[in-house]
Amino acid sequence: MKKSLAAAALGAAVLSAAVAAAAGAADPGLDMARTAQFDFDPPKAGTYTLPVIKPLPDGAVLDEDGKRRSLRALVAGRIALISFIYTRCSDPNGCPLATAVLYDIHDASAADRALAENLHMVSLSFDPAHDTPEVMAGFRGFDTGSGPARSEWSFLTTASQADLDPILADFDQVVRRRVDAQGKDMGLYAHQLRVYLVDRRGRVRNIYGLGFLDPRLLVADVHTLLAEERRAASQ
């Protein structure tokens, strides 16, 4: 009897998580309040579709241990959010904004099992000369081994500019090194802020920039892809 009660309780918990996941907007871990920049209630997950934009580009990246990996293989089998950054970014509307949004989602995943299990976030540097694997590991800024399960978050870089350039080109990610009036490298980049949503089949399904980087929208989109998978599986 105890076993069946436990099983029932577990089933209810799973069902509850599934319902919360399906609802998306009801995820307990995500702050759903409106802000001055996002003064609207987000759409309910699963009530809209996300068109396929293009295949996920691939390329050789380095993980935090310095191991050479295929970007596409690294995120294969899960939904991914891929953000291009550099750790020295000084533009408050640039990389710090994108990373802050991913932090929000990472936090939310602690209370959202579907996010924790199905979402893989990637912060990929476009400044390989400075952002070594060691720097990216330090940039992580949180302990991966404690607390509730959360979405995996990889902090990647590349071995060289030669490895990076085709990745940027394929993603259509504009990055320009900034120099001062004397032509001296400022250690800064002008760049188009982009975060890419990739489905489990390796297809880009949304692209976010300024004005769209509302964690509520990104989480709703992830849950919309999960709802799409459930529909496809039931057919």
Taking contact as CB under 8 A, which single stretch among the options 60-68, 70-78, 86-94, 226-234 is the one that binds other proteins? 86-94
Among 28, 68, 144, 178, binds other proteins (CB under 8 A): 178
Does residue 37 interact with other proteins by CB under 8 A? yes
Q: CB under 8 Å to 187, separation ≥6 — which residues?
A: 88, 130
Q: What 3 state SS string does 134-180 have? A: HHHHHHHCCCCCCCCCCCEEEEEECCCHHHHHHHHHHHCCCEEEEEC
Among 94, 128, 152, 223, binds other proteins (CB under 8 A): 94
Residues 107-126 that bind other proteins (CB under 8 A): 107
Say if residues 81 and 103 touch (Cβ distance below 8 Å): no
Q: Scanning residues 55 to 84, which ones bind other proteins (CB under 8 A)?
A: none
| Backbone φ and ψ of 119, nearest 5° | -110, 135
Closer to other proteins by Cβ: residue 118 or 215: 215
Closest approach, Cβ 172 to other proteins, in A, equals: 5
* 130 sits near other proteins (criterion: CB under 8 A): no
The token pair at 76 is 């294969």
User: What are the strands of the beta sheet with 152-156, ordered from one edge?
Assistant: 54-55, 203-208, 195-198, 79-85, 119-125, 152-156
- The one-letter code for the residue type at 39 is D
Which helix or strand (DSSP H or E) is residue 124 part of? strand 119-125
Out of 193, 222, 226, 227, which residue is the one contacting other proteins (CB under 8 A)?
193
Under the binding rule (CB under 8 A), the answer on residue 161 touching other proteins is: no
Residues in contact with other proteins by CB under 8 A are 31, 35-40, 42-43, 47-48, 51-54, 87-94, 96-97, 100-101, 103-104, 107, 135, 138-142, 172, 174, 176-180, 186, 188-194, 196, 207-213, 215, 217, 220
